[in-house]
Structure 1
Amino acid sequence: MSLYDESLRLQEYYPFVTFYYYKEWQDFSMEMHEHDSVEIMYVMCGSCKIELEGETTQLKKGQFIIIDANVPHKLHVQSEKRCRMANVEFAFRPGATNYLTFKRVVEETPSLLQMISHYQPYLLFLDSNDIYACLKSVILELDKKGTSSDFMVQLLLSQLMIRISELANRNDHAPEQSLYNKKAVDFIHQNYDRDIRVKDIADAVHLHPGYLHRVFKETMGCSINDYLVMHRMKKAKELIAQTDIRITDIPYYIGVSSQQYFSTIFRKYTGQTPMEFRKEQQRLHLQSDDFINN
């Protein structure tokens, strides 16, 4: 059952662990596969790559990924590298129980409700220092041979999901959002002059494009595409005003392949055509020279 299945919010289900491990991988490539459980993979040290949804995402130390049920994926660790991981997979059972149902946890946790209200095949995060501790507690409880308490596992698993949802949704976790935004902005500033897309930026900061888009817009007040266009127009204005580069060549200096598109967007952002803007800048420059000479 998907983590985003509406039944989990309306009916009585409770989560249970189907598989878990602590393991170190080296020179390993898993077959593409899928399963009915939701999977959490946490990188304790080293790095690995996860292939899913036609994309390859890199995970480094302190990062973790939540892969929804029935999403095909594949783990790959290069031969020259090692990757130590903690993994928990869980599914949902229906029916009356003395355990804390997932429905009840969602009702009491607005951030969890928000997180599971919008489907994402996977979510990638940078730990905020307490996710690993929660995940480790679940695994240690499961590892108690013959003495593991199912009730305690349910509580710890619920705590883990609550902490993850807070990391995903609270608006005041500025350090994580600032880190992702800074990396995204740096990538744009360094690569605006070539053909780049949101997916390229998301790959550079190791986030799912949809999640990066949401985080960026919440904190920056505009979409990634809007920011990219604004930065390109800023650079175009500088080139038009400060150089003799032909107007028809300007788009290629800022990563825009269409002259018509460039002219349309430039006018939208400045209220002038590129040629009108250059003539105005030349006029202002002459007036400034006249003022200085007089």
Structure 2
Amino acid sequence: MLDSKAHRLFWENTFICIRSVRLHYVQPLQPLLYDRLPSSVFLFLCQGRAGIELGDDRLAAERFFALHAGAGARLALYPERRECKCYVVEYGLGPEASGKGLPDAYLDSYGFIPELPLAITELMDKLLQSDRSADTLMQQAIAKGHFYRFVELLLDQLESSALPEPGGDSVSEALQYIHLHYEDEISLEQLADQADSSPRHLGRQFKERMGVSPIDYVIHLRMKKAKRLLASTDASLQEIAESLGYSDSYAFAKMFKKQTGMPPIGYRDLHRRRDGAPTSSSQDVHMLAASRSVQTSTGSVKVPLRPERVVVLYLIGDVLTCGVVPVGISDLYQGASFEAEAAGIPQVGPWYAPDLEAIAALKPDLIVVPSEKTWQQIRHIAPTVCIDAFHDSAEQLATVNASLGRSLDVWSRTEHLLRLAERCKDQLRQAGLQDRTVTIVEGGLKGMSVVCSKWAGRGSQALYHFLGMKAPAFIQSRIDYSGKGNNLIVPLENLASVAGDFLIRSSYPGMDDLSVHEVWRSLPAVNDGRLIELDFGLLYYPDTLSMEQQIVRITERLLNCADRGIGRIGQ
């Protein structure tokens, strides 16, 4: 990639024309594909996760990923498990440019997650609307103005990430390496090796010049970026943690609180109150307002200050946790952790295909849904907020709480969940089970679905994220790929190749009796009593109440195997 100065020179001295602006909704198994780009493009992924192929390079792209691809390159985007939404802006050079000697900045390829993704999303939407109506010279100029503002934001990002110039000494070399790799795992030994020094000598020199140790400097850079992301984006705690090199949101939140004195969610709330909420002098006027705006994955939505007639699809446990009893819920599966609390509440059909007339008859003042597809079906009935259900649990609960206008202490509730998980992990470790592999399966005689993600429900978040258990190597490699690998459909005949030391299977009335199949009976986990069957309804939901029960029940069943001597595999 060229340096930022070369790119700015290109944009300041080159006439360009916008050829097309498109908003794509890309479905799994139906990739967005350009065999050869006719001109250079900017791609901005504003929803979902995807694998991107750019020439021979392979990238794992998350929400808010911005990419520039040069003319002539092959570009493909493959959504992971669910629909992706992305803007593609195709632009060319002025008529004086020939096919030869095209500027390097025009052909350069680069990508990153910018620090102001919401501003860029807004500009992309304005550009799309302006381009659709650009029939006059003035309208074309307005569209180009939005485009140049978008480019300016990206250039500012490139320049703000400029690295310190190497100065020929060990401290400068270490600084250079830190600024390049502070989002990765860094040790003092690595830095010393890069700077051709000893750890002790480098540590002493670094502290004399910078006032802090090298590792404290790394933490400082991480926290600085974390504050920017918390204050200016809607990125989840898990997304921020991963972008900074932390193994999970708990490790990140613990370090953030240690460094700043407050939890990440508290920092985000405080910053947004300072930047956007009314001051105490205007509080009385604010309370007279009929509604307020909340930011969701589908944009800003006006909702009642304190909705009372709430219909919730799928995220039932989180709404109950916030102290709200819904007037309607999606169909409740037997065995759900909140089954007793939700008894008697009218059910309005499955969350992905609800009965719209039944919902309208309940006269809701707020509807909570877990997917954009459901949001599209239902938003005409009442104010509707879309909250990604396969999400960091703390962020998910915080968004539900904010949408409901309640004052639940989300951080304390999250801390309770994390402490529970740590206690259970200690029990598994003491029982010698922490290094055993676990495969989550669901299905029958015609084939089994093997969970390849820590965010796919079926107990995956509790098992792989909170309890830190691992799957067999092949499955684990897919889980580690951004945590969102697609599940596998495996014939029973091949299940042995992906079966772990333990199997967890969702059970429900009428499911196939697999004991009639010889291959199933011969699996070591089945034959030796390491098959754990749990209610489908318990494993189906990803809310806070369900997560607590899943962690406890999975731990209990694993420990039960250990108590019976089953956990000591191969002994």
Q: Which has the higher strand share?
A: 1
Higher relative contact order (CA 8 A, sep 6+): 1
TM-score (normalised: structure 2): 0.26
TM-score (normalised: structure 1): 0.48
Q: Which has the higher helix share?
A: 1
